[in-house]
Amino acid sequence: MNTIHHRIGALTESTEPVYEALTTIDGLANWWTVDTTGDASIGGKIEFRFPPGGFDMEVVELEPGAFVRWRVVDGPPEWIGTHIEFRLSRSDGYTIVNFAHTGWAEPVEFLSHCSTKWATYLLSLKQYAETGTGSPSPDDVQISDWD
Amino acid sequence: MNTIHHRIGALTESTEPVYEALTTIDGLANWWTVDTTGDASIGGKIEFRFPPGGFDMEVVELEPGAFVRWRVVDGPPEWIGTHIEFRLSRSDGYTIVNFAHTGWAEPVEFLSHCSTKWATYLLSLKQYAETGTGSPSPDDVQISDWD
């Protein structure tokens, strides 16, 4: 199994703004994709849509201010059954997000693409938590021919 | 062993500007760190320095226009002995860079940090190849308390 890892830090007074951005439909729509709908509570399903397609996530774990875990229930075949997690902590005035997208069967080129895209979205999350304005799709960073 | 993967595409007419940016001291100084010195030919050693420290790489493989591989010979303990590779190809008008930083012994938090930083530097490489201006250290993207 292969994993995408990232770590960013947002200059916020507590983990709350970041946790809110990960656990409410409005928050998610402000940094990942404006077309976010569904139910962000445990057991709920969130639908994320982008111009080329999208992902459906089941919310499998929530620990207030500290941890979020989703399971991918629909989307590209390489994503289905993988898990996405955000672990929050505090360090030196920053809210640290340790991110992992686990369970990729193979280290395909699409994993590499998604790894770079995740970095751009996590920097959008940082920007949103710090300033109230992120860069969600369709105004996200274009990184290649794969968007 | 754990690997960082990324994929970006630069809108260039051939792989040459990207290959040049990866295999000359001047090219490297324009997207990774301005403080780049050494010998970028096969068997040579390149010294990359940043405000908090740096890395020494031995150039172990060069395939013109197509492939670059370095071995880390000095730097943070987690990096020593790891390999960094850039595989170039063409797709739909883009020069694609498939990047891998292989051989991490453990998926430590520092790997997650470096994964996100690599994404920002690879986007600097893309910008440099496309426009002639990148964002090398010390004008790189700050992502957290770890710089």
This complex has an ipTM of: 0.97
Which residues in chain B have Cβ-Cβ distances shorter than 8 Å to A145?
A: 9, 91-94, 96
pLDDT at A147: 86
Of A91, A98, A115, the CB nearest to B5: A115
The distance of A91 to chain B (nearest Cα, Å) reads 7
What is the number of domains present in chain A?
1
Task: Encode chain B (147 residues) as per-residue pLDDT tens digits.
Answer: 899 999 999 999 999 999 999 999 999 999 999 999 999 999 999 999 999 899 999 999 999 999 999 999 999 999 999 999 999 999 999 999 999 999 999 999 999 999 999 999 999 999 999 999 999 999 999 999 998
pLDDT, tens digit, 9 for 90 and up, residues A40-98 = 999 999 999 999 899 999 999 999 999 999 999 999 999 999 999 999 999 999 999 99
Range of the domain at B98: 2-131
A138 reaches B (C-beta below 8 A): no
pLDDT at A1: 86
Query: For residue B36, is it within any domain?
Result: yes
Contacts of A41 (CB under 8 A, 6+ apart): A59, A62
Query: For residue A122, is it within any domain?
Result: yes
Query: For residue A95, is it within any domain?
Result: yes
Query: For residue A147, is it within any domain?
Result: no
pLDDT at A127: 98
Check pLDDT > 90 for residue A2: yes
Strands, E assignment, B51-93: 53-63, 67-74, 83-91
What is the Cβ-side half-sphere exposure of residue A115, based on CA atoms within 13 angstroms? Answer: 33
pTM here? 0.97
Of B94, B98, B123, the CB nearest to A112: B98
pLDDT at A52: 85
Tokens of B122: 């690879």
Is residue B13 exposed (0-12), middle (13-18) or buried (19+ Cβ within 10 Å)? exposed
Query: For residue B147, is it within any domain?
Result: no
pLDDT at B1: 86
What distance in Å separates the CA atoms of residue B18 and residue A85, rounded to the nearest whole number?
34
Whole-number average pLDDT of chain A: 97
- Contact state of B94 with A145 under an 8 Å Cβ cutoff: yes
Query: For residue A145, is it within any domain?
Result: no
Query: For residue A144, is it within any domain?
Result: no
Tokens of A94: 């920053």
Which residues in chain B have Cβ-Cβ distances shorter than 8 Å to A96?
A: 144-145
Which residues in chain B have Cβ-Cβ distances shorter than 8 Å to A147?
A: none
- If contacts are CB pairs under 8 Å, which of residues 19-48 in chain B contact chain A? none
Query: For residue A69, is it within any domain?
Result: yes
pLDDT at A24: 98
- Interface contacts (A, B; CB < 8 Å): 98
Tokens of A110: 């699409």
The distance of B74 to chain A (nearest Cα, Å) reads 23
The CATH number of the domain holding residue A76 is 3.30.530.20
Sign of the alpha-carbon dihedral angle for B112, B96, B84, B58: negative
pLDDT at B52: 85
